Amino acid sequence: MRHRRALLFMPGDSRRKIEKGAALPVDSIIMDLEDAIAPAHKDLARRTVAAALHEVDFGGSEKLVRLNMVIPGWLYAADIAATVDAQPDGYVLPKVEDPQQIAQVSDLLALAEDRHGWPRLRLRLLAIIETARGIVNLREIAAASPRLDALIFGAEDLAGDLGAIRTPGGQEVLVARSLVVLHAKAAGLQAIDTVFIDLNAPDAALAAEAHTALTLGYTGKLAIHPRQVGPIQAVFTPAPADIAAARRLIAAYEAHQAAGQGVFEYEGRMIDMPMIRAALTVLHRARACGVL
């Protein structure tokens, strides 16, 4: 599964902004056909995204397209038809509330893969959970398709759906934020945290929110401005000190295992398998980020 620390939204109707995003060392770029696009510009956005997929050098960044909501008679099928031949890496589905929405898109993508002779499941899916109904159906959504790579938490739309009042601490969405990461990890999926909407806030505030997401178990975070990419990816990249500490712990564990010892004391703590798994996770993330 591709490593995703920062996923940057770019409006699908702006070739200039897509090119700006493609020039960044960002893990994933999401070319948006939904919220960022006025109804009168939907066709223009589809054409712009398709052309960019054909012509723009995205470097090592993943190329994703956010569809319009998957509801009967809506625009998502036209979004796919206009862009799939240009070979995006996958699609982001907004406001997912039911596993059938994922299945419907997966079926359309399977037809495209067969038509082009691409490997099955080449086109990946990421589902945004941003309504109360999506939260209560998380178990079924997370198991909807082998195409599904990640669950994305959408706090702003969820708060609107609940009639909640957004606060700096986010206590009004904490339960839902925790449930998204819990169900993602139970299903072997990545968990991507919500956007940080205050563009005037200092980088330290964004980094603090990203770090909170990391401590909850999230593997990445959405970005809505190019300058957010650096702080987000820095938080989700293990620091050299953390990598060194994890390697020391693993070495100590292996030495005690060789001596026939299970649980052991290390730097004043009793060490057992949960702590070893946490250290292995740090090293896995470091390798995925290219820093180990």
Q: How far is CA 89 from CA 122, 206, 238, 249, in A?
A: 8, 27, 26, 37
For tokens 């390697």, the residue is 247
Q: Are strands 269-271 and 62-66 parallel, antiparallel or unpaired?
A: unpaired
The three-class DSSP label of residue 111 is: helix
What distance in Å separates the CA atoms of residue 125 and residue 270, rounded to the nearest whole number?
41
| C-alpha triplet 118, 121, 126: angle, nearest 5° | 130
- Tokens describing residue 287: 């390798």
What distance in Å separates the CA atoms of residue 10 and residue 36, rounded to the nearest whole number?
8
Residue 55: its H or E element: helix 42-55
What distance in Å separates the CA atoms of residue 191 and residue 222, rounded to the nearest whole number?
11
Residue 107 CB neighbours (<10 A): 10
Q: How far is CA 162 from CA 35, 139, 153, 165, 172, in A?
A: 19, 20, 14, 9, 9
Determine which one of 107, 114, 198, 272 is catalytic.
272
- 193 labelled catalytic: no
Number of helices (H), then strands (E), in the chain: 12, 10
| C-alpha triplet 57, 61, 67: angle, nearest 5° | 95
* Active-site amino acid positions: 272
